[in-house]
Structure 1
Amino acid sequence: QQAVNAPPLLLPEALGFSPQLLLDDIINIANNAVTDAVNGLEEFLQRWADERAKKEGGSDTTKESEWDPTGEVEQGLVAFQTLLEYHTDIAFDFFEAWSLRNVFAVPPDLPIVLPHQEGLDLTQSPEREKELMDEIVELRLQLQDQRRLGRVLTRAVHVSRAGRRRAEKRRERLSFLHDPTFDTIEGLPQKLFELYKSVSALPDLDPATLSSLTQYRLSDPGKRPWETSKTGYLNWAVSQLLVRARERNAA
C-alpha cells in the first residue's frame, strides 16, 4: 500500500505511547526467543555429544581422537543462530514496515478529535496565542514567587520557634523571681495611692492658722515648730487649740 503521511505526534498523543517503541519491544522479544532457543539446543546437543563420546570411547581410539564433540557443537550452533537471526531480521523488518503503513497509519483527511482536545478552539490567531503564552509565563512566575514566599515563611516559622524555645529557657531561669513575698511589694503602689487620696481630702488651712504658723518663732531655722522636738510639737498644738477656741468665741 501507499504510505500515508499522518501527523507524527497524533498517534503518540492518542495512544499514550510511541508505535515505534512498541515495535522495537516486539522485535527484542523475538530476538530474545531466538537466543533462548539456541541456548536450549546447545544444552541438548552437549549432552548428546557427551553420551556419544562415552559409548564410542572404548571401541575406536583413533576416531575418538579425531572427532571433537565440543567444537562440532559450537560450529553447528553458530551457524544455526546466524540462520535464525537472518530470517528473524528479514521477517520483522517487513512486519515493522507493514505495521507503520497499515496498523499505525491515520489518513490526514480523517477528522479526529482527541478526548482531551474536545471543545477547544484551535483556530486562535498568532497574536492571541502569543498573549495566552505570555499569560501562562506570568502565571508561572507568580507560582514560583508563591513557592519562594512559602519557603521564606517556613524558614521564618522555624526561626520563630527557635526564638520561643530560647525565651522559655530564659523564663525558666528567672522563675525564682516569682515569689509570694513580692505580692507585698505589688500592693505598695495601691496603698500609696490611697494615702495620696486621703491627704488630698484634708481641708485647706484657714488664713488665721497660716498667719500663726508664719509668726511662730522657730527654734531651728531649718525645721518647723512641730518638727523640732516633743515640746515644740506640744507648744504648736496648744497654740492651734487656742486659736480655734478664740475663733469659736468670736463667732
Structure 2
Amino acid sequence: MTQDGPSKTPPAERAVPPLLLPEALGFSPQLLLDDIINIANSALLDGVSGMESYLQKWSEERADRLGSEWDNTQEVEQGLVSFQTLLEHHTDLAFDFFEAWSLRNIFAVPPDLPLVLPHQEGLDLTLRSEREQELMDENAELRRRLSEQKQLKRIQTKALHAITNRERRSAKRLERLSFLDTPALDVSAALPRKLMAMHSAVSNLPPMDPETIAALAQFQETDSGKRQWETSKTGYLNWAVGQLLSRAKAREGGGEVEGMTEQAAEIGQAEQLRQAFEITHGVRNDLENAMQMDTGM
C-alpha cells in the first residue's frame, strides 16, 4: 500500500528559506519543536519522580511487614534507573521522528508556491550574486565601523573620567591657593611699573649745581625729623620757591636777558622735580595701601 503525500517529496525540493518562513509565522519552527520536546522531557521526569516516591513507600511498607531482614533498596534504585533510561530512549526516538516529519511536512513550503509577505509585495527580491556580494561587503564594512565607534566611545569615556579626576584635583589645589588671590597682590603687581616710571623720572632730572647742594646741606630739619620738601607737597613747593627767590636775589646784578634765561631754566627744573615728586608720592601711596591690606588680612 502506497501513500501519496507531501512526505514523498525529496528533501531537495522541500527546501524552506531559512529566514522567510519564521518571518511569515512570527516564530521559529525549530524553537517551537524544541519547546515541545522539552515539555515532553519534563513530563517524563515528573513520571519518574512519581514512580520513585511510590516505590520508596512500597519498599518501606514491605520492610515493616517482613522485618529488617528484607532490604532491596539497591534493587529499587536500579529499577528506577532502568525505567528512566527506557523512557528517555523511546522519547528521544519518537521526537526525532516527530521533528523530522514536522520540518518536512508542516513547516515546508513547495518551491512552486510563491511566498510573499504583505510588506514585501511589489518588491524585487531577485538579486544577482555580484549584488549580493556587494551588500555583504557593505554590511561587513558597517559592522567594522560600528566596532570602531564602540571602541572610540570606550576610549572617550575613559578619557572623560581621567579629565574629570584631573579637574577635581585642580579645583582642590585652586581652593588651597585661593588665599593668594587678594587685592593686595593687585596693588603689588602695579608697583614694578610705577617704580620704573619713578626711576625714569628721577634719572631725567638735571644735575644739581654746587649752590643747591650747599643749600640742601645747610637746610634745617623740621620738628618731625623731616626736611621741608619731605613733609608734604606744599612744603616742597615752598622750599622750591624759596630757593628760586634766593637765587634771584643773589643774581640781581645780572642783565635782564640773563635773568630771564635763568628763570626759564629754574622753572624747567622745578617742573621736572614736581613730576618726580608726584610719581614718588603715588608709589608711596600704593605701598601704604598694600601694607594696610596685609595688616587687615
Q: TM-score, normalised by structure 2?
A: 0.50
2:37 aligned with 1:27: yes
Q: Could you tell me which residue of structure 1 aligns to residue 15 of structure 2?
A: 6
Instruction: Write out per-residue CA displacement over residues 139-186 of structure 1, whole angstroms, 9 at most, x where no aligned residue.
Output: 444444444444444444344434434443443443343344445435
Q: Residue 38 of structure 1 contacts residue 77 of structure 1 at CA under 8 Å; is this kept in 2?
A: yes
Q: Using a 3 Å threshold, how does the CA distance of structure 1 residues 36 and 240 change in structure 2: closer, same or farther?
A: farther
TM-score (norm 1): 0.56
Match of 2:101 among 98, 103, 107: 98
CA contact (8 A) 2:15 2:108 kept: yes
Count of aligned pairs between the two proteins: 219
Letter in 2 for 1:34: L
Distance of 2:158 and 2:61 partners within structure 1: 77
In the TM superposition, residue 237 of structure 1 has moved relative to its aligned partner by 4.4
Q: Match of 1:178?
A: 181
Do the aligned partners of residues 191 and 73 (structure 1) sit closer, same or farther apart at CA in structure 2, a change above 3 Å counting?
closer
Q: Which has the higher contact order (CA 8 A, sep 6+)?
A: 2
Letter in 1 for 2:214: S
Match of 1:161 among 156, 160, 164: 164
* Pairing 1:43–2:53 present: yes
Are 1:122 and 2:107 an aligned pair? no
Contact 1:50 1:69 in 2 (8 A): no
Q: Does 1:230 align with 2:240?
A: no
Q: Describe the shift of the 1:191–1:112 C-alpha distance in structure 2 as closer, same or farther (beyond 3 A).
A: same
Quote how far apart the aligned CAs of 1:5 are: 0.9
Distance 1:247 1:140 in 2: 98
Note the C-alpha offset of 1:9. 0.8
Deviation at 1:134, TM superposition (A): 4.0
Q: Is this contact kept in 2: 1:14–1:114, CA < 8 A?
A: yes
Whether the 8 Å CA contact 1:12–1:19 is kept in 2: the answer is yes
Cα deviation digits, residues 5-48 of structure 1 (max 9, x gap): 12251434544654344334423433442343244234334434
What is the Cα-based RMSD across aligned positions, in Å? 5.0
CA contact under 8 A between 2:48 and 2:80: conserved in structure 1? yes
- Give the match for residue 116 of structure 2: 113
Identity %: 56
AA of the residue aligned to 2:167: R
Displacement after TM superposition at 1:106 (Å): 1.4
Residue ranges of structure 2 left out of the alignment (5+ in a row): 218-239, 262-297
Q: Deviations over 1:185-212 (max 9, x none)?
A: 35658978999xx9xxxxxxxxxxxxxx
CA spacing shift, 1:246–1:158, aligned 2, 3 Å: same
Task: Report the Cα offset of residue 230 of structure 1.
Answer: 1.9
**Greater shift in the superposed pair: 113-122 or 26-35:** 113-122
Could you list the runs of 5+ residues in structure 1 that have no partner in the other structure? 59-63, 199-212, 214-221
Report the residue type matching 1:43 in the other structure. S
